[in-house]
Structure 1
Amino acid sequence: MIDFSGLQQASTVRDEWKYPAAAANRSGLLQVDHAPDHKLYWEEYGDPAGEPVMVLHGGPGGACAPVMARFFDPARYRVILFDQRGCGKSEPTVAAAGPAVALTRNTTDHLVADIRTLRDALGISGRMHVFGGSWGSTLALVYAIRHPEDVATLVLRGIFLGDREDLLYMYQGNAATYAEAPFSITAPGSYVAYPEAWKPFVETIAPAERDDMMAAYKAIFDRAPRDDADRLRQLQAATAWSVWEGTISSMIPPADDPGKFAEAAFALSFAQIEAHFFAHELFLAPGEIVDNIGRIAAIPTHIVHGRFDQVCPLTQASRLIEAMAGAGAAPASFAITNAGHSAMEAQTVLALTAIMDGLPRLG
């Protein structure tokens, strides 16, 4: 028998953290809208008088976790984590209240406005560092373009521009031809690196509906459940969507452990919020980020991207950097790590922590 026990089982961070886990100084729910009454759950870590850092999580719908505060020196920074509308501990969530409620007034414009409301409520009046990965990088860029006066520094990981080609790479791939030739590379896509994880994602959708996988999934999510069988179908679809992204986020996924991505409450919110935003092209005008990148020319921007990222391939960072250079806004630093998409992979953790440690102090 061949012993494979010595092979690396995962690429996620282990002992690489510089700063210890810590409890939040305080937390709360902030009402940011009515009809429905959207309330954001937020937490504060580090020095209450320190340099403010606004952390923007991925997804959309991914939610924050306390571990995200470990990128920052707690003696220097005041770190704000919060869950965006519809997910995590914010209220109402898609999982608890359903999409008809939690996806109402849930757009990029609303999320940008929420950041301003939250910083005002927490007494952040000057410039702040904005730290975001994946969808969080998208939201950080949009926020900085619209409110450059609020932003001292952008620290971005796993750049996501959200163009149609980027979404097709991850969610469409060879799905249209999968029934006849499941292992044929008939189109580019993440499935090439993760064929075993692709199978349940594709097979959740009937072969006749695989020409547009995102539309097929959204049709399941949009259908009002009539009975327990319908509710189970929606949960199965949400879990398949969520586990697919969770699995391919790590260069070496944890063996047989999809973690939170397989949990019903997380999956229902995560998958349905993503499908909602993707169906509306992220609620952004075509080219809104790259066409307006000159507005952040004066903001030092640091970028970290995993070379083996299959959720947001490295070409997205390349497109952003090309646009920045063309606008005279070349990034202050750009690190390509030997990692996948997740912020919790060792090299990416080290790179992001080093950036935050090396930033010039505000004021």
Structure 2
Amino acid sequence: MDPAVRKDLYPHVEPYQTGRLRVSHVHTIYYEQSGNPGGHPVVFLHGGPGAGTSPGNRRFFDPEFYRIVLLDQRGAGKSTPHACLEENTTWDLVADIEKLREHLDIPEWQVFGGSWGSTLALAYSQTHPDKVTGIVIRGIFLLRKKELDWFYEGGAAAIFPDAWEPFRDLIPEDERNCFIAAYNKRLTSSDPDVQIEAAKRWTMWEMLTAHLIQNHDTIKRGEDDKFSLAFARIENHYFVNKGFLPSDSHLLDNVEKIRHIKAFIVQGRYDACCPMMSAWDLHKAWPEAEFKVVPDAGHSANEVGIAAELVSANEKLKSMLRK
């Protein structure tokens, strides 16, 4: 992690509890708790989908104030079975978050997520608004066709042509009318070698574009077979199914359900993965939410300006909750 980012975050803390929760006959999810056991609960929703959590995710929150809950969504991270697509939809994940809240005997909690985590945070909060005390979201992704087309069908390639070529070149020219569908064919192949090759190309494309200035640690993550398999298979599965949302504008159409909740939207101006048009559209639909554009940042939460704004948002919510 960039030393400049470290100074904006809270010190590393270890979990005081880890556990596994069986959420279906197929899936068991990993979760952990850190910080203050008697503190205000906050749930961290990771990106991807399929990325899983990491220890650094705890550091956005004051461990003396917050009871910090992290979970690995179905098929991701330490959850089992790894990279499994069966019974894996947005609404399954929304139900899992609610099952975990009940399992931990938490009446209500703050919701925090970036990228796909922002998608899931909105979907969960719109489904269970009475359980949400505040929302902090970053790198807004509304899972609309134009967003998927931008990143996977050639838009972002105009900025990152060098990173795009390996992603593009795996797919024969006669299948390039839809890269998401072409990759789905390979990521669900019966041949594990075909899956791995496609997974690494898919994952590396995102790792190379996630920062304003490419980050070695992020790129190295994309070289890991196990991480790439879950990240690519699950992400692609959601995208080929349009996020399992009933309409392209579903998350914008349902802002009314969460308008009363105190919320913060943080967006990197030069986010190539989830371009600012989505954050802007959400801001226009939800002007009550505090909207912060970081002028010198891309997509990742681990960029200096974004990390600082996320911590600042949590601090503002903390002050409100203390009143």
TM range (shorter): over 0.9
What is the TM-score normalised by the length of structure 2? Answer: 0.95
Amino acid at match of 1:240: R
State whether residues 135 and 264 of structure 2, in contact with CA within 8 Å, keep that contact through their aligned partners in structure 1.
yes
The yes-or-no answer on 1:332 pairing with 2:321 is no
Secondary structure at the counterpart of residue 350 of structure 1: helix
Q: Distance in 1 between matches of 2:228 and 2:194?
A: 13
- Deviation track 1:143-194 (CA, whole Å, cap 9, x = no partner) reads 1111100001010000001111100110111xxxxxxxxxxxxxxx111221
Q: Distance in 1 between matches of 2:101 and 2:64?
A: 20
Secondary structure at the counterpart of residue 276 of structure 1: helix
Alignment of 1:243-258 (within 5 A): 243-255=204-216, 258=219
Instruction: Choose from 38, 50, 61 the match for 1:61.
Output: 50
Alignment of 1:276-287 (within 5 A): 276-286=237-247, 287=249
Secondary structure at the counterpart of residue 361 of structure 1: helix
Amino acid at match of 2:172: A
Amino acid at match of 2:292: F
Alignment of 1:213-252 (within 5 A): 213-225=179-191, 231-252=192-213
Q: Distance in 1 between matches of 2:282 and 2:9?
A: 29
Q: Distance in 1 between matches of 2:45 and 2:2?
A: 23
Greater share of helix residues, 1 or 2? 2
Q: Distance in 2 between matches of 1:210 and 1:335?
A: 34
Amino acid at match of 2:273: V
Instruction: Choose from 320, 331, 334 the match for 2:282.
Output: 320
What is the TM-score normalised by the length of structure 1? Answer: 0.85
- Deviation track 1:285-321 (CA, whole Å, cap 9, x = no partner) reads 1121111110111101100000010000001001111
The yes-or-no answer on 1:342 pairing with 2:304 is no
Q: Distance in 2 between matches of 1:246 and 1:11?
A: 16
**1:3 maps to which residue?**
none
The yes-or-no answer on 1:77 pairing with 2:58 is no
Give structure 1 stretches of 5+ with no counterpart.
1-9, 95-101, 174-188, 226-230
After TM superposition, the structure 1 stretch with the greater mean CA deviation from structure 2, 348-357 or 252-261, is: 252-261
Alignment of 1:1-363 (within 5 A): 13-34=4-25, 36=26, 38-94=27-83, 102-125=84-107, 127-173=108-154, 189-225=155-191, 231-255=192-216, 258-286=219-247, 287-325=249-287, 330-359=288-317, 360-361=320-321
Answer with 1 or 2: which has the greater Rg. Answer: 1
Q: Distance in 2 between matches of 1:91 and 1:242?
A: 20
State the shift of 1:16 in Å: 2.6
Q: Distance in 2 between matches of 1:15 and 1:221?
A: 36
Q: Distance in 2 between matches of 1:293 and 1:319?
A: 11
Q: Distance in 2 between matches of 1:76 and 1:301?
A: 18
State the shift of 1:82 in Å: 0.7
State the shift of 1:104 in Å: 1.1
Q: Distance in 1 between matches of 2:218 and 2:110?
A: 34
Q: Distance in 2 between matches of 1:129 and 1:305?
A: 19
Evaluate the alpha carbon distance shift between residue 257 and residue 278 of structure 1 in structure 2; reply closer, same or farther with a 3 A threshold: closer
State whether residues 269 and 293 of structure 2, in contact with CA within 8 Å, keep that contact through their aligned partners in structure 1.
no
State the shift of 1:333 in Å: 4.0
Q: Distance in 2 between matches of 1:141 and 1:207?
A: 37
**1:97 maps to which residue?**
none
State whether residues 86 and 269 of structure 1, in contact with CA within 8 Å, keep that contact through their aligned partners in structure 2.
yes
RMSD (Å) for aligned C-alpha atoms: 1.6
Q: Distance in 1 between matches of 2:295 and 2:23?
A: 37
State the shift of 1:233 in Å: 2.2
Give structure 2 stretches of 5+ with no counterpart.
none
Secondary structure at the counterpart of residue 116 of structure 1: helix
> Once superposed, which parts of structure 1, at least 4 consecutive aligned residues long, lie more than 6 Å away?
none
State whether residues 5 and 302 of structure 2, in contact with CA within 8 Å, keep that contact through their aligned partners in structure 1.
no
State the shift of 1:208 in Å: 1.4
Q: Distance in 2 between matches of 1:243 and 1:361?
A: 40
Q: Distance in 2 between matches of 1:336 and 1:346?
A: 9
Evaluate the alpha carbon distance shift between residue 256 and residue 146 of structure 1 in structure 2; reply closer, same or farther with a 3 A threshold: closer
Identity %: 40
Evaluate the alpha carbon distance shift between residue 321 and residue 256 of structure 1 in structure 2; reply closer, same or farther with a 3 A threshold: closer
- How many residues of Structure 1 are paired with residues of Structure 2 in the alignment? 320
Q: Distance in 1 between matches of 2:251 and 2:296?
A: 27
